[in-house]
Amino acid sequence: MIYLDYSATSPVDKKVLDTYNNVSVNFIGNSNSLHKLGIEAKKLENEATAQIKKIMKLKDEEVIYTSCSSESNNLAIKGVALRNQKKGMHIITTNLEHSSVYGSISYLQTQGFEIDIVKTNEYGLVDLENLKELLREDTILVTIIEVNSETGVKQNIEEIALLLKNYNCYFHVDATQAIGKIRTDYTNVDLISFAAHKFFGPKGIAVLIKKKNVLIENLIHGGKSTTKYRSGTPALPLIVSISKALRIIDENIDIYYNYIKELNDLLVKGLKKYKNVTINSNEYSIPHILNISVINIKPETFQHALENYEIYISTQSACSANNPVSKSVLEVTKNEKRASYSIRISIAGITTVEEIDQFLIAFDSCYKELNIGWFMRLIRVSSSWCVSCIITKKAWDELKEIYDCIEYDYDMDEELLKNYNVGNILPVIIIEQNNIEVKRIIGEKSKKEILEIINNIGVKIWKK
């Protein structure tokens, strides 16, 4: 099994899992309790929080524990908006955000908030001049993702934060795809979201870092926790685990980065040789994420073809996979076709060179099996019937010169074909080099008759 979907989630580090189990067994007290067991639990919780703040070089910021980055993003965006709406109701974001950001701002629009989308340049980077133009006296929040989960494009958070220091608004950064992969100075950032499962921690625990002077409205009411902004019994095993996972990844982050860059270079070199493959990630993308488009084949088809080799990649962000056109790839490439055929390969420090080599071999096989550049066509070979088949473009062009053909550029199934008044639909034929295989017979003609007809057409063309 070769796992290349680390941007969706990562396996739990065994050391982190051991920590989780140890805390679960040996620290049974509620850290809000005043008895000895509660005090011991609270002490461990405070130590875990202090370690997170030390690693991230935080001083007066507050660490709020949540269940996932989606919750952290919701708490940051809705929390700031609802608490500060008397000051203003204007928010700025980008077209590169996680779906939880769009969900939050869409909700706020129904409450009367005004949203502006800042422009990006040809690399997908925020246009700082346009950002300045959009900022207003009633702007209360700018929320920008640090690393886009599909293309890997990294925004210059430090530069944006310095710019926003001159304005009276809060700056929220969704750092979910950045923490554990790259180092960033968050000194001038007001709110930061990230989750443990992106850097070999357990699922179910995330963080919202908030500067103490930032006022937000809590979304969960009632109950006591580590903070008034997020109620609920502190999940001590998860809190200690995210701290442990962050420490382990931070100790190796520079070594991993250089190694992952080498793996990324191998991938790019191996994939650039294909005519119908385009690289969507660019020089501003972190090496952990490589986005490509395999033109003229559905991303899900290629994904499932690789599954046959026990290789696992992603078509889009796992949280926004219902849209056939990738909004993020479209924003970076400005090309709708590339955005419609994009797939994501994401790697980590535990990915091996051998896995990359095996992936490229499997990719080559899938590329040939699916015969990228072949098209589904309807070919009229007489006035009374037509053939549905897959052929190469070269063969199709040769057929068009010989026969009166009708062309359709989309995939077809039996029901769709029946709706077209082009005669009786007979077989579905797959032509692969010199081999012809009848996959499905629709109509009354026998397989032998069909093969005789196709033999007079297809094979002669292929043998030219």
- Catalytic site positions: 319
Q: Distance between CA 172 and CA 150 in Å, rounded?
A: 20
State the distance between the two ends of the chain, measured CA to CA, in whole angstroms.
Answer: 42
306/362 Cα distance (integer angstroms): 7
Token pair, residue 303, equals 């994904």
H or E element in which residue 418 lies? helix 414-418
115 vs 109: CA distance, rounded Å: 7
Cα torsion through 397, 398, 403, 404, rounded to 10: 10
| Residue 337, CA distances (Å) to 164, 276, 406 in order | 35, 12, 23
CA 217, 221, 226: angle at the middle one, nearest 5? 80
**Which of 111, 112, 180, 108 minimizes the C-alpha distance to 143?**
108
Instruction: Assign 426 to helix, strand or coil.
Output: strand
Q: 228: Cβ–Cβ under 8 A, 6 or more apart, which residues?
A: 218
Contact 168, 31 (CB under 8 A): no
Tokens of 341: 């055929």
The whole-angstrom separation of Cα 120 and Cα 128 is 9
Where do runs of H (alpha helix) occur along 373-413?
393-402
Which segments within 342-411 are labelled E, that is strand? 342-346, 374-380, 385-392
Task: Bin 118: left if φ > 0, else alpha if -120 < ψ < 50, else beta.
Answer: beta
* Residues whose CB falls within 8 Å of the CB of residue 410, separated by 6 or more in sequence, listed in order: 376
Helix (H) or strand (E) holding 255: helix 236-271
Distance, in Å, from the CA atom of 266 to the CA atom of 354, rounded to the nearest integer, reads 11
For the record, the structure tokens of 40 come out as: 């011991």
Q: Identify whether the C-beta of residue 241 lies closer than 8 Å to the C-beta of residue 21.
A: no
